[in-house]
């Protein structure tokens, strides 16, 4: 089978400590391409290093919405050399890498996150708008995080000229799902589809052409007792092929073609 993991975070220690084995296991089951997503300046650098080191690893460079990023840095124990880094400097760095480095396939993970009640929505929207404009200019697709901010995300994207945004792990209401479907945008479906009715229903109602598979590893594992990794994409393919009443090969081939159309 030909499989893809369009969204994960290989820089987390749980994965980095066993990275060689994890990449080998992914290859064993047929994973051909992995996009590791940067969320901070530090993780963008690691993503570039991993893309250089492993043939099947590609990367997306981005910044989490400012609040979520601060939360992420504190909770995950990810190092950040300069916690007061400038967002604009990092965007310039990303812009440069997009031009120079063929393994940078997308801009992500970027978006809006209103989980924290005291969030500065204006600051978040300004940053997200800069990434939308970078995507318009560079023609690299956006991989989008939206948490408790799905409405604003869809509104902002509809005001852009983007044709191919990728909605990562979309948990918004079905009215918004419908708008995304009608706009012809893409859903990147995580491996917890094995138990998530939201993602099963998105797959059921969306054309297979608009679907990608992702693990979001180390998060959203299909197995409660195991840390997620790219080889677990097989679990999603099983569920997606059942919902669509096609063979796993047919599902994975179409999703691979979607990946090529969107990112290559």
Nearer to Zn ion, 134 or 169 (CB): 169
Residue 248 contacts residue 238 (beta carbons within 8 Å): yes
Q: Which helix (H) or strand (E) element contains residue 20?
A: helix 19-29
Neighbours of 102 (CB within 10 A): 9
Contact string 206-235 vs Zn ion (x = CB under 5 A): ----------x-------------------
Distance CA 239, CA 244 (A): 9
Tokens representing residue 95 in the block: 């812009």
Nearer to Zn ion, 67 or 216 (CB): 216
Nearer to Zn ion, 13 or 249 (CB): 13
Nearer to Zn ion, 11 or 216 (CB): 216
Contact string 150-169 vs Zn ion (x = CB under 5 A): --------------------
CB under 5 A: which stretch of 64-72, 106-114, 123-131, 249-257 binds Zn ion? 106-114
Contact string 62-101 vs Zn ion (x = CB under 5 A): ----------------------------------------
The total number of residues shown for the chain amounts to 264
Tokens representing residue 13 in the block: 């220690």
Nearer to Zn ion, 90 or 109 (CB): 109
Shortest distance, position 9 Cβ to Zn ion, whole Å = 6
Q: Which one, of 115, 122, 96, lies nearest residue 107 by Cα?
A: 96
Shortest distance, position 230 Cβ to Zn ion, whole Å = 13
Distance CA 57, CA 50 (A): 7
β-sheet bridge partners, residue 144: 110, 167
Q: Which one, of 9, 55, 50, lies nearest residue 31 by Cα?
A: 55
CB under 5 A: which stretch of 23-31, 65-73, 108-116, 154-162 binds Zn ion? 108-116
- Indicate the burial class of 200 (C-beta count within 10 angstroms; 0-12, 13-18, 19 or more): middle
Shortest distance, position 220 Cβ to Zn ion, whole Å = 9
CB under 5 A: which stretch of 10-18, 103-111, 125-133, 187-195 binds Zn ion? 103-111
Shortest distance, position 245 Cβ to Zn ion, whole Å = 30
- Indicate the burial class of 95 (C-beta count within 10 angstroms; 0-12, 13-18, 19 or more): middle
Contact string 166-185 vs Zn ion (x = CB under 5 A): --------------------
Distance CA 204, CA 238 (A): 14
β-sheet bridge partners, residue 142: 107
Nearer to Zn ion, 188 or 210 (CB): 188
- Binding to Zn ion (CB under 5 A) within 3-42 occurs at none
Shortest distance, position 250 Cβ to Zn ion, whole Å = 27
Q: Which residues lie near Zn ion (CB under 5 A)? A: 109, 216
């Amino acid at each position: 089978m030909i499989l893809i993991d369009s969204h994960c975070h290989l820089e987390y220690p749980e994965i980095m400590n066993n990275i060689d084995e994890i990449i080998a296991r992914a290859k064993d089951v047929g994973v051909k391409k992995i996009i590791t997503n940067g969320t901070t300046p530090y993780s963008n650098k690691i993503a570039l290093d991993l893309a250089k080191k492993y043939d099947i690893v590609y990367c997306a460079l981005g910044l989490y919405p400012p609040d979520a990023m601060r939360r992420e840095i504190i909770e995950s124990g990810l190092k950040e050399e300069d916690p007061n880094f400038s967002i604009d400097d990092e965007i310039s760095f990303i812009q440069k890498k997009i031009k120079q480095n063929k393994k940078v396939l997308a801009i992500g993970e970027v978006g809006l996150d209103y989980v924290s009640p005291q969030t500065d929505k204006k600051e978040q929207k300004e940053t997200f708008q800069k990434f939308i404009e970078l995507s318009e200019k560079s023609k690299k697709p956006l991989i989008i995080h939206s948490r408790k901010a799905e409405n604003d995300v869809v509104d902002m994207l509809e005001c852009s000229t983007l044709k191919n945004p990728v909605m990562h792990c979309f948990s918004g209401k079905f009215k918004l799902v419908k708008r995304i479907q009608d706009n012809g945008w893409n859903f990147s479906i995580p491996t917890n589809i094995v138990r998530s009715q939201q993602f099963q229903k998105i797959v059921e109602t969306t054309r297979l052409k608009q679907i990608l598979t992702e693990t979001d590893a180390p998060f959203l594992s299909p197995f409660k007792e195991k840390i997620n990794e790219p080889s677990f994409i097989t679990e999603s393919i099983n569920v997606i092929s059942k919902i669509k009443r096609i063979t796993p090969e047919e599902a994975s081939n179409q999703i691979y073609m979607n990946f090529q159309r969107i990112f290559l």
